[in-house]
């Protein structure tokens, strides 16, 4: 990845891309697009990301005995695109896959 031009571009231009994004949303759709396309989307992403550790250590099902309280939570699994299968992550930390079933 260190040699990939795409990732090098993102690393080099991270701040300018991050600051240009809300401006672009505003220019395309005005204040409404800025609020819904940038602000609400960003805050929702933060909340879903933080919910993985918060919710998945309190609510859900523990498929594997891992010696901790990590659990799989279907709602967080859907919202976080698989990250909610938290007990699977604790049981198989080196696995690339979050889900172990075909669905």
Which of 7-11, 34-38, 89-93, 96-100 shows the lowest per-residue confidence on average (mean pLDDT)?
96-100
CA-CA distance, 45 to 79, in Å (whole number)?
Answer: 9
CA-CA distance, 74 to 99, in Å (whole number)?
Answer: 11
What is the pTM for the complete model shown?
A: 0.71
- Residue 86: Cβ within 10 Å count: 26
**32-78 residue pLDDT tens:** 999 999 999 999 999 999 999 999 999 999 999 999 999 999 999 99
* Range 88-103 average pLDDT: 83
In DSSP notation, 51-76 reads HHHHHTTTSSB--S--SS---B-HHH
DSSP state of 1: -
DSSP state of 11: H
Token representation of residue 17: 């891309």
**7-18 residue pLDDT tens:** 999 999 999 999
Token representation of residue 43: 């805050």
In this predicted structure, what is the pLDDT of residue 97?
A: 78
DSSP state of 61: B
- Residue 90: Cβ within 10 Å count: 19
Count how many residues are written for the chain: 103
In this predicted structure, what is the pLDDT of residue 1?
A: 85
């Amino acid at each position: 990845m260190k040699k990939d031009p795409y990732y090098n571009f993102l690393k080099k231009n991270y701040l300018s891309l991050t600051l240009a994004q809300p401006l672009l949303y505003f220019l395309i759709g005005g204040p409404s697009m800025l609020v819904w396309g940038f602000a609400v989307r960003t805050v929702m992403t933060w909340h879903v990301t933080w919910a993985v550790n918060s919710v998945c250590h309190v609510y859900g099902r523990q498929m594997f005995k891992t010696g901790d309280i990590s659990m799989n939570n279907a709602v967080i699994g859907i919202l976080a695109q698989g990250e909610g299968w938290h007990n699977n992550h604790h049981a198989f930390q080196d696995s690339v896959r979050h889900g172990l079933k075909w669905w």
